[in-house]
Amino acid sequence: MNIHERLGLPQVETDLRQLETLLTESVVFGDPYLDNVTTHLINAGGKRLRPLLAVASATGGARAATRDDLLGGVALELMHLASLYHDDVMDEAEVRRNVDSVNARYGNLIAIVAGDYLMARSAAIAADLGTEIAGLLARTLAWLTRGQVAEVRTSFDRDRQIDDYYLAIEGKTASLMAASCRVGAITAQRPATEVEALDEFGRCFGMVYQLRDDILDMVATDGQLGKPAGQDLAEGVYTLPAIHAMNDSVVGPQLREMLGKPLNDEEREQARQLVVSTDGIAATYAAARTFVAQGHEAMAIVADEPLRVGFSRLIEALLEGLPEA
Q: Which residues bind its own copies (CB under 8 A)?
A: 29, 31, 33-34, 37, 83, 86, 89-90, 108-110, 112-114, 116-117, 119-121, 123-124, 126-128, 130-131, 134-135, 137-139, 141-142, 144-146, 148-149, 152-153
Beta carbon nearer to its own copies, 30 or 223: 30
Least spacing, CB of residue 107 vs its own copies, in Å: 8
User: Smallest distance, Å, CB 66 to its own copies?
Assistant: 18
Please answer whether residues 298 and 229 qualify as being in contact, where contact means their C-beta atoms are separated by less than 8 angstroms: no
Shortest distance, CB of residue 269 to its own copies, whole angstroms? 26
From the CB of 100, what's the least distance to its own copies, in Å? 18
Using the minimum distance from each CB to its own copies, give the nearer residue, 9 or 126.
Answer: 126
Taking the alpha carbons at both ends of the chain, their separation in whole angstroms is: 21
CA distances from 277 to 8, 213, 241 (A): 37, 18, 10
User: Shortest approach of its own copies to residue 168 CB, angstroms?
Assistant: 12
Q: Please state, in angstroms and as integers, the Cα–Cα distance from residue 92 to each residue in 157, 159, 269, following that order.
A: 20, 25, 22
Q: Which is nearer to its own copies, 14 or 108 (CB)?
A: 108
Amino acid at 296: H
Q: Find how far residue 264's CA is from the centre of its chain.
A: 27
Distance in Å, CB of 213 to its own copies, minimum: 20
| Residue closer to its own copies, measured from CB, 137 or 307 | 137
Nearer to its own copies, 234 or 298 (CB): 234
Q: Say whether 157 sits in a helix, a strand or coil.
A: coil
Nearer to its own copies, 34 or 99 (CB): 34
Judged by DSSP in three states, 163 sits in: helix
Q: How far is the CB of 178 from its own copies (least distance, A)?
A: 16
Helical axes 175-187 vs 192-219, angle rounded to 10°: 150
Q: Of 104 and 138, which CB lies nearer to its own copies in the complex structure?
A: 138
Cβ atoms < 10 Å from Cβ of 98: 8
Helices (H), 94-191: 102-106, 108-128, 131-153, 162-169, 175-187
| Alpha carbons 251 and 31: distance in angstroms, whole number | 56
Alpha-carbon separation of residue 279 from 126, 173, 191, 243 (angstroms): 44, 24, 43, 11
SS (H, E, C) 185-229: HHHCCCCHHHHHHHHHHHHHHHHHHHHHHHHHHHHCCHHHHCCCC
Decide whether 47 or 153 has the Cβ nearer to its own copies.
Answer: 153
* Nearest-approach distance from CB 223 to its own copies, in angstroms: 30
For 184, list phi and psi in degrees, rounded to 5.
-60, -45
Whichever of 92 and 265 has its CB closer to its own copies, that residue is 92
- Shortest Å distance, C-beta 93 to its own copies: 13
CA distances to 86, 103, 117, 286 from 113, rounded to whole Å, are: 9, 11, 6, 40
